[in-house]
Every structure is written in C-alpha cells, then in structure tokens.
C-alpha cells in the first residue's frame, strides 16, 4: 500500500517538475509546481514528518505559489520566452550537464549513500510525544538561537521587499534608462 | 516491495537535476525561480528522508529553516522582478545586463554605449 502511494507521489512529482520547466506559459508552470509541492507533502507524510507536510501545503503550495501567480499576472508576463540564446546550444549544454549530474548522483548513491550516527539531536519517538511536539521542543530548545536569527532574516526580507517594490526615484537608478517622468519634484510632494 | 530511504534519495536527486536543468534552460526569471524552488524541495525531501533513516529530529527542524530562507528569497526576488520590470519592461536575465555592460565599457574604454 505504502509502495503504491510512494510510486504515485513520485510519478506526479517528476511529471510536475518536468512540467514546470517545459510549460510555455508561466501560469502553467506555477500549476505544475503546485503538483510537485503537493507530492512532496505526500512523501513527507509517508516519512512520518507530519508538521513538515502541513507546513509544506500551507506555506509552499499555497502562499509561495500564490505569490508567484500574483507577480506573473501583475507583470503580465504570461507569454512565451522569445529571447534568443546568448550562448550557443545553451539548451543542449544545460540538459547534458543536468543528465550528467543526475547520473553522477545516482551512480554515487548506488554504491553507498552517506551514513551517520543515529539519534544525535533527538529520536523521532520520545515517550508518547507526537511529531509536532518533538519538532517544536527541539526548535525552541536546541535551535532557539537559529530560530531567532531566522526572524531577523525574515524582517530583513520584508523590509527589502517593500523597499524594492515601492515606486521610488532612488531605487535602482542603475537600471533607469529613459524615464524622467518618474522623477518627482520633492517640493511638489510636500504640498 | 518496501520503500527504503534510497527510493526517496533517488527521487530527490532526479527532481533536483530537473530543477537544475530548468534554471539553466529557461529564460523567464519567474520560471527560473520556480526551478530553484524545485531544487530546494528536493533538498528538503533528502533532509526528511535522512531524518527518518537516522532516527534524528534535526532533519525536520532544518526543513523549517530552509522554508524560511526560501520564503524570504521569494519575497525579495519577486520584489526585484517587479522593480526591474517596471524600469525595463523585461523579465529575462539575459536582457538585464547593465552591470556586465559597465564592466565591458571600462575594459574597452568606450565612453557611451547606450
């Protein structure tokens, strides 16, 4: 039974991943991305990582993809990539490199995947605690400093995102070519 | 037919390489972002698979940190895309090469290209 679920999830995951990189329309790519992310969540459930699966669905498959769709539709870029390759045979080279990378990974893994000591940080099963409790207690005890650091990272990302996306005369002057109408007279603003 | 850790690792390796191909093939920066998400998810799946194999909760904790970094990356990256598109009306990284051009101008001592 678990094998059937795994192979179904693996199939949808790979089909979705191929769809992301082959779909002509970015909106279709985003939909294929949802397919892959949901399959990853199924795999998390199979592996007993309940909290990771829930967060995967809530954050990744919903919030991140909606952000993608929002930007695609905001910019109206849902058309073909009509840019010429700057490198000769870029597609061929990229595909070859990726296939070689996959072959290397699989060959190396076929002999021996990395091994390590068991239960260094904490076991997955501790006296009747569920997966969520164990993850939470580890996160807020052993990794509490890293957890606080990620909050700083998120604040920085929010400030950076707002600053970049806001319509401003000072942002990205490097990219400014011929839009003098964007320059606002500061004395006008004060009125 | 039992599913072992190796199955998950092989699956993650395949998806990672598909993401790698996507980043290098596609010209649309948004699709390149999505391919990066694919690669991050493959890494996450590896972490969770090892967490199960080695009976260690740290793998699942690391997944959360990767999620946070990915969310921050998407927020800043998409804001950059909006800012660039507003200025240049282009979303392909191949067409946005101001910084590369500045270096080339310095090299060949051409004063005004654009």
| Domain harbouring B81, CATH code | 1.10.287.3510
Region A80-93: mean pLDDT is: 68
Residue-wise pLDDT tens digits, A122-167: 777 777 788 888 889 889 999 999 999 999 999 999 999 888 877 7
Predicted complex: ipTM over 0.90: no
B101 touches chain A (CB under 8 A): no
- Averaged pLDDT of chain B: 82
The separation between the first and the last C-alpha atoms of chain B, rounded to the nearest angstrom, is 64
pLDDT bin (cut points 50, 70, 90) of residue A176 is: low
Closest CA to A32 of A41, A44, A22, A42: A22
CB contact (8 A) between residue A174 and residue B69: no
Q: Which residue from A44, A81, A175 is facing B92, i.e. has the nearest CB?
A: A81
CB contact (8 A) between residue B55 and residue A44: no
CB contact (8 A) between residue A157 and residue B78: no
CB contact (8 A) between residue A102 and residue B49: no
pLDDT bin (cut points 50, 70, 90) of residue B105 is: very low
Mutation site for A-interface testing, chosen from B53, B66, B77, B79 by largest number of A Cβ within 10 Å: B79
The Cα B92–Cα A155 span in angstroms is 28
Q: How far is B100 from chain A (nearest CA, A)?
A: 12
Q: Which residue from A6, A99, A135 is facing B3, i.e. has the nearest CB?
A: A6
Contacts of A106 in chain B (CB under 8 A): 10, 13
Q: Does residue A32 have a pLDDT over 90?
A: yes
Q: Which residue from B8, B9, B25 is facing A21, i.e. has the nearest CB?
A: B25
Contacts of A158 in chain B (CB under 8 A): 75
Tokens at residue A182, please?
A: 């964007």
For residue A157, give the chain B residue with the closest CA.
B72
Contacts of B9 in chain A (CB under 8 A): 109, 113
Burial zone of B3 (CB within 10 Å; 0-12 exposed, 13-18 middle, 19+ buried): middle
The Cα A145–Cα A182 span in angstroms is 43
CB contact (8 A) between residue A154 and residue B68: yes
Whether residue B114 is contained in a domain is answered as no
Identify which has the larger pLDDT, B91 or B56.
B56
Q: How far is A189 from chain B (nearest CA, A)?
A: 21
Enumerate the domain spans of chain A: 1-78+128-142
- Averaged pLDDT of chain A: 82
pLDDT recorded at residue B114: 46
Q: Which residue has the tokens 């999620």?
A: B67
The Cα A133–Cα A127 span in angstroms is 11
pLDDT recorded at residue A175: 58
- Note whether B21 and A95 are within 8 A (CB): yes
Region A68-83: mean pLDDT is: 74
* Owning domain of residue B23: 5-108
Closest CA to A26 of B33, B60, B93: B33
Q: How far is CA B56 from CA A5, A50, A181, B113, in A?
A: 24, 15, 58, 58
Region B4-30: mean pLDDT is: 89
Q: Which helix (H) or strand (E) is B63 found in, with range?
A: helix B58-88
pLDDT recorded at residue A81: 56
pTM: 0.82
Question: Of A105-109, A138-142, A172-176, B106-110, where does mean pLDDT reach its minimum?
Answer: B106-110
Write the CATH number of the domain with boundaries A1-78+128-142: 1.20.120.1200
DSSP-derived secondary structure for chain A: -HHHHHHHHHHHHHHHHHHHHH-SSHHHHHHHHHHHHHHHHHHHHHTT-HHHHHHIIIIIIIIIHHHHHHHHHHHT--S---PPPSSTTHHHHHHHHHHHHHHHHHHHHHH------SSSS--S--TT--HHHHHHHHHHHTTHHHHHHHHHHHHHHHHHHHHHHS--SSTTGGG--S-GGGPPPHHHHH-
For residue B38, give the chain A residue with the closest CA.
A17
Domain count, chain B: 1
Q: Which residue from A37, A157, A164 is facing B41, i.e. has the nearest CB?
A: A37
The Cα A17–Cα A2 span in angstroms is 22
Tokens at residue A55, please?
A: 């967060």
Question: Of A18-22, B23-27, B44-48, B87-91, where does mean pLDDT reach its minimum?
Answer: B87-91
Q: Does residue A108 have a pLDDT over 90?
A: no
- Note whether A16 and A60 are within 8 A (CB): no
B41 touches chain A (CB under 8 A): yes
CB contact (8 A) between residue A67 and residue B78: yes
Region A32-59: mean pLDDT is: 93
pLDDT recorded at residue B25: 87
């Amino acid at each position: 039974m678990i094998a059937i679920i795994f192979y179904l999830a693996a199939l949808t995951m790979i089909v979705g991943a191929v769809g992301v990189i082959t779909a002509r329309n970015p909106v279709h790519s985003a939909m294929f991305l949802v397919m892959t992310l949901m399959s990853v969540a199924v795999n998390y459930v199979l592996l007993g990582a309940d909290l990771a699966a829930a967060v995967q669905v809530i954050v990744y498959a919903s919030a991140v993809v909606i952000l993608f769709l929002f930007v695609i539709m905001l910019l109206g870029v849902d058309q073909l990539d009509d840019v010429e390759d700057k490198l000769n045979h870029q597609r061929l080279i990229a595909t070859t490199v990726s296939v070689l990378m996959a072959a290397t990974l699989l060959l190396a893994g076929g002999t021996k995947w990395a091994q390590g000591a068991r239960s260094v940080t904490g076991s997955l099963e501790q006296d009747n605690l569920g997966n969520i409790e164990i993850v939470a207690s580890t996160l807020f005890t052993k990794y509490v400093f890293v957890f606080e650091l990620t909050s700083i990272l998120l604040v920085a990302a929010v400030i950076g995102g707002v600053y970049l996306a806001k319509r401003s005369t000072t942002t990205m002057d490097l990219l400014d070519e011929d839009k003098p109408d964007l320059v606002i007279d500061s004395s006008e603003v004060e009125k | 037919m039992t599913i072992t850790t190796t199955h998950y690792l092989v699956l993650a390796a395949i998806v990672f390489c598909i993401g790698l191909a996507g980043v290098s093939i596609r010209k649309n920066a948004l699709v390149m972002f999505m391919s990066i998400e694919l690669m991050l998810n493959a890494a996450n799946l590896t972490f969770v698979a090892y967490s199960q194999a080695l009976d260690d909760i740290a793998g699942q904790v690391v997944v959360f940190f990767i999620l946070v970094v990915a969310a921050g990356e998407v927020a800043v990256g998409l804001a950059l895309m909006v800012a660039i598109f507003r200025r240049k009306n282009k979303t392909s990284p191949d067409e946005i090469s101001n910084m590369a051009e500045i270096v080339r101008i310095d090299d060949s001592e051409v004063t005004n290209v654009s």
